[in-house]
């Protein structure tokens, strides 16, 4: 084989990304030449560089050079290992592989605008601009019609954030008892200790702050009652920073955006460009002073183009992740399939794109503080804007840094990309999204193209060590797709990512290689053949992965050496865990579903696993709660573990064995220990679904849209009920009080 043929062959093998592919790479390299140390292999440097850069198994570069296993790390029963003596290799990265991941920096506003115009002219259609996943983006398109103006809705792409997280020890530590909060109250269940996540309920141990429907309520925890409230509009999340609450909502009044003016030149053909009122897709961040709980007061708010995805609170600064598509470009579409109308719409759109300026392509935001609203600011800065090397759409991903004490100092970092899943460590924020195929224009016959996701995940890393602003660092790609934020975890500067690709799952370790790319330095595959990932948890140098189709393999991974991740233990049982929570020393609680041997789900189940011996994980306790499901299976914020009482509390909704048979809807508490798991009690809110549980002052507080119930922590006996005045009975009966606990 010629050298270039060998190189192409190796590239194809490398892109498989499997441990078997690693062996193929090495075998192919040996067939080309006698393997020598990397410094001496000049003739075959391209071949070896490709193998080294992909790093399909731990340290291919080091393996080629030495093939030594003397530095295998020691993995003890407690999960503590000694660091490998071999440092993480700096690999030679081919430009082609860097180009697949590394974002390209724009040199000026002019180059940014020229790029967006050029790409838009390539893909624009009579119906607007294509977005990702077959959606179409336009600035609230107007209608080209031969009669009266006809308003039509714009199909804007919306990337929904997927919250997911849970309380964990600080990175690099062993599993320790997790109280879920302070000495006398629990806090939001988060993924990384010290990094708060937004939720619908927050407490400081004295008061409880709740978003219910369109209102923020402040509830006294000592003598449970509503102290004050404030209408905030449709709200999704809140963060608590000292005596300020940040609420994520939609604007009170949708802001209209400009539509195209009537075009005199084409009106003579019996059609005009109508300009119906269109509304910009925006998020509002409200900063509310709650120092006087009886009268919460908004001190400032930010209105930002696009969709709120998620946020993290680190050292008092909120890092808010938003996604937006161009909303300032008034694109048109035809009122009929008449060829003349279609061609006119296309000509009009091309004309609009050619005249679009920098501000038209970028999302904007304003800050209102002290009754004054700032001028609109673009989220994209001309000197710090980035794009993927291969065009993949017009979306803008922004990370806004907001200090609630100084909202006017808010700053953004943006890239021309999409984002869906957010994970943050103390100094880095990562945003992941499925990587889509090329964006193509609509077919001549008017059929919208079906843009399919590639089996890859694109990850963008931002530096959040500076309290003033986030800065884009580097990007990388990983084979397969991620489940949720638990699929990512940073440890000692390396990012571990769990993905599923078709019929196999992987854990890949990425490292920042000289600021060029998040490069794969290690990978272990073969997890759950013909199955997919249902739950992931990384704790220091240990990883836990649950896959499922018929049985539940719980895999234990040794990640101490990032170049040699490996499976060290496996437990196969029926059913699966959808959420894993570390408690005590070397114990994991799993919340999920029991299943038959054929994989048929049988009902909600809570399990306790002993992982003290990574090579032989064991199930200690399993407790069935009946046919149905728990919110905690897909929303970790609904899970509560209170260590002082060894108490696990989850919301649950079950039904009887026969259709229409009564079941239970509320929260269940389980005493959870290695020697025993039993039910402590249940709390019901009648027709309302319990969403959250928390402990304050030795009592259990449960929240639903109906109100807050206070119960005895030992017996779950009801002590008091605080109804919300805006509660609506989900059964349609109007305002209602909760029913009694169903036994």
Model pLDDT for residues 434-466, shown as the tens digit of each residue: 777 666 665 655 555 566 667 889 999 999 999
**477 or 61, which is more confident:** 477
Residue 90: the pLDDT is 45
Residue 517: the pLDDT is 86
Spatial distance between the Cα atoms of 494 and 417, rounded to a whole number of angstroms? 23
Residue 418: the pLDDT is 85
Strand spans (E) along 540-686 = 542-548, 551-558, 566-574, 576-583, 587-595, 601-610, 618-626, 628-629, 640-642, 647-654, 664-673, 676-684
Most confident of 251-260, 330-339, 712-721: 712-721
Please determine, for residue 162, whether its predicted confidence score (pLDDT) is greater than 50.
no
Spatial distance between the Cα atoms of 92 and 160, rounded to a whole number of angstroms? 37
Element (H, E) at 14: helix 3-16
Q: How far is CA 565 from CA 57, 58, 481, 546, 561, in A?
A: 8, 7, 19, 16, 6
Spatial distance between the Cα atoms of 410 and 150, rounded to a whole number of angstroms? 39
* Mean pLDDT value of segment 684-699: 96
Range in 592-606, 617-631, 655-669 the model is least confident about: 655-669
Mean pLDDT of the chain: 78
Alpha helices in 59-108 (DSSP H): 60-65, 95-101
Q: Pick the closest to residue 3 from 28, 24, 37 (CA basis).
A: 28
Most confident of 140-149, 235-244, 379-388: 235-244
* Mean pLDDT value of segment 561-567: 96
Range in 202-211, 378-387, 503-512 the model is least confident about: 378-387
Please write the tens of the pLDDT for every residue from 628-646. 999 999 999 999 999 999 9
Residue 103: the pLDDT is 77
Spatial distance between the Cα atoms of 104 and 115, rounded to a whole number of angstroms? 12
Spatial distance between the Cα atoms of 19 and 318, rounded to a whole number of angstroms? 40
Range in 39-53, 421-435, 460-474 the model is least confident about: 39-53
Residue 657: the pLDDT is 67
Spatial distance between the Cα atoms of 258 and 411, rounded to a whole number of angstroms? 26
Spatial distance between the Cα atoms of 210 and 216, rounded to a whole number of angstroms? 6
Give percent above pLDDT 70 in the chain: 70
Residue 601: the pLDDT is 87
Spatial distance between the Cα atoms of 166 and 190, rounded to a whole number of angstroms? 4
Residue 328: the pLDDT is 84
Residue 118: the pLDDT is 93
As given in the structure block, the two tokens for residue 198 are: 């937004």
Residue 156: the pLDDT is 30
Residue 732: the pLDDT is 61
Residue 401: the pLDDT is 96
For the CA atoms of 511, 514, 517, 522, the dihedral, rounded to the nearest 10 degrees, stands at -30
pTM to 2 decimal places: 0.79
Residue 247: the pLDDT is 97
pLDDT band at 470 (very low <50, low <70, confident <90, very high): very high
**194 or 383, which is more confident:** 194
- CB 691 within 8 Å of CB 705: yes
Tokens 């790609």 locate to 477
Residue 452: the pLDDT is 64
Residue 450: the pLDDT is 60
Most confident of 100-109, 373-382, 615-624: 615-624
The residues, any chain, with a CB within 8 Å of residue 153's CB and separated by 6 or more, are none
pLDDT band at 169 (very low <50, low <70, confident <90, very high): very low
Please determine, for residue 609, whether its predicted confidence score (pLDDT) is greater than 90.
yes
Residue 443: the pLDDT is 62
Tokens 């400009």 locate to 258
* Mean pLDDT value of segment 274-278: 42
Give percent above pLDDT 90 in the chain: 53
Each as own residue / partner, the long-range contacts of residues 7-10 (CB below 8 Å, 24 or more positions apart, any chain) are: 7/46, 7/47, 7/50, 10/47, 10/50, 10/51
Please write the tens of the pLDDT for every residue from 6-35. 444 444 443 333 333 333 433 343 333 333
Going by the DSSP 8-state scheme, the letter that residue 688 receives in this structure is B
**157 or 698, which is more confident:** 698
Q: Pick the closest to residue 544 from 617, 597, 435 (CA basis).
A: 617
């Amino acid at each position: 084989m010629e050298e270039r043929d060998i190189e192409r062959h190796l590239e194809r093998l490398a892109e498989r990304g499997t441990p078997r592919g690693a062996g193929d790479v090495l075998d192919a390299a040996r067939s080309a030449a006698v393997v020598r140390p990397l410094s001496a292999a000049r003739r075959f440097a391209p071949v070896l560089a490709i193998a080294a850069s992909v790093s399909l198994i731990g340290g291919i570069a080091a393996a080629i050079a030495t093939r030594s296993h003397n530095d295998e790390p020691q993995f003890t029963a407690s999960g503590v290992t000694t660091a490998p003596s071999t440092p993480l290799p700096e690999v030679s990265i081919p430009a082609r592989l860097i180009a697949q991941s590394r974002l390209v920096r724009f040199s000026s506003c002019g180059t940014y605008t020229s790029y967006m115009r050029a790409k838009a002219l390539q893909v624009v259609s009579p119906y607007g601009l294509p977005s990702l996943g077959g959606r179409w983006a336009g600035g609230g398109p107007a209608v080209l019609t031969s009669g009266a103006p006809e308003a039509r809705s714009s199909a804007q792409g919306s990337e929904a954030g997927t919250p997911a997280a849970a309380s964990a020890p600080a990175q690099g530590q062993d599993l320790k008892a997790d109280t879920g909060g302070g000495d006398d109250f629990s806090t939001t269940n988060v993924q990384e200790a010290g990094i708060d996540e937004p939720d619908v309920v927050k407490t400081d141990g004295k008061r409880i702050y709740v978003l219910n429907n369109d209102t923020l309520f402040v509830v006294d925890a000592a003598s449970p009652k509503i102290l004050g409230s404030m209408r905030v509009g449709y709200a999704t999340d809140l963060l608590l920073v000292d005596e300020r609450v940040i609420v994520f909502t939609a604007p009170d009044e949708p802001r209209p955006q400009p539509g195209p003016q009537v075009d005199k030149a084409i009106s003579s053909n019996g059609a005009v460009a109508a300009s119906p009122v269109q509304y910009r897709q925006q998020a509002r961040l409200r900063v509310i002073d709650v120092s006087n709980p009886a009268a919460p007061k908004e001190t400032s708010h930010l209105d930002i183009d696009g969709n709120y995805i998620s946020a993290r609170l680190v050292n008092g600064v909120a890092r808010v992740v938003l996604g937006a598509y161009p909303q300032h470009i008034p694109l048109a579409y035809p009122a009929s399939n008449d060829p003349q109308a279609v061609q006119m719409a296309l000509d009009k759109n091309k004309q609009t794109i050619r005249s679009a300026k920098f501000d038209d392509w970028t999302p904007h935001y304003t800050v209102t503080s002290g009754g004054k609203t700032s001028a609109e600011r673009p989220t994209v800065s001309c000197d710090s804007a980035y794009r993927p090397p291969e065009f993949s759409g017009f979306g803008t991903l922004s990370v806004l840094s907001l200090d609630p004490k100084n909202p006017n100092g808010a700053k953004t970092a943006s890239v021309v990309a999409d984002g869906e899943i957010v994970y943050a460590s103390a100094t880095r924020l990562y945003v992941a999204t499925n990587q889509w195929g090329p964006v193509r224009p609509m077919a001549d016959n008017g059929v919208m193209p079906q843009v399919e996701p590639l089996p890859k995940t694109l990850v963008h890393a931002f530096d959040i060590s500076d309290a003033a602003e986030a800065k884009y660092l580097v990007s990388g790609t990983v084979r397969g797709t991620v489940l949720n934020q638990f699929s990512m975890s940073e440890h000692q500067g390396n990012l571990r990512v769990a993905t599923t690709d078709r019929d196999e799952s992987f854990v890949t370790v990425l490292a920042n290689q000289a600021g060029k790319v998040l490069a794969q330095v290690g990978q272990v595959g073969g997890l759950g053949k013909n199955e997919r990932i249902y739950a992931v948890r990384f704790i220091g140098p240990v990883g836990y992965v649950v896959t499922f189709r018929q049985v539940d393999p719980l895999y234990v991974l040794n990640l101490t050496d990032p170049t040699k991740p490996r499976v060290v233990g496996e437990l196969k049982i029926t059913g699966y865990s959808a959420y894993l929570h570390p408690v005590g020393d070397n114990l994991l609680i799993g919340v999920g579903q029991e299943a038959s041997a054929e994989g048929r789900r049988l009902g909600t189940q809570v399990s306790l696993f002993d992982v003290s011996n990574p090579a032989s994980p064991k199930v200690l306790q399993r407790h069935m709660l009946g046919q149905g499901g728990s919110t905690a299976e897909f929303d970790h914020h609904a899970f509560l573990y209170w260590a002082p009482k060894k108490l696990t509390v989850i919301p649950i909704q079950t039904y009887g064995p026969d259709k229409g048979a009564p079941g239970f809807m509320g929260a269940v508490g389980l005493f959870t220990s290695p020697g025993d798991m039993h039910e402590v009690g249940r709390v019901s809110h009648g027709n309302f679904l319990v969403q959250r549980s928390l402990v304050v002052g030795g009592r259990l507080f449960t929240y639903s849209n109906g109100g807050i119930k206070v119960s005895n922590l030992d017996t779950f006996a009801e002590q008091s009920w605080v109804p919300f005045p805006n509660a609506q009975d989900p059964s349609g009966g109007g305002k209602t009080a909760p029913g009694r606990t169903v036994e």
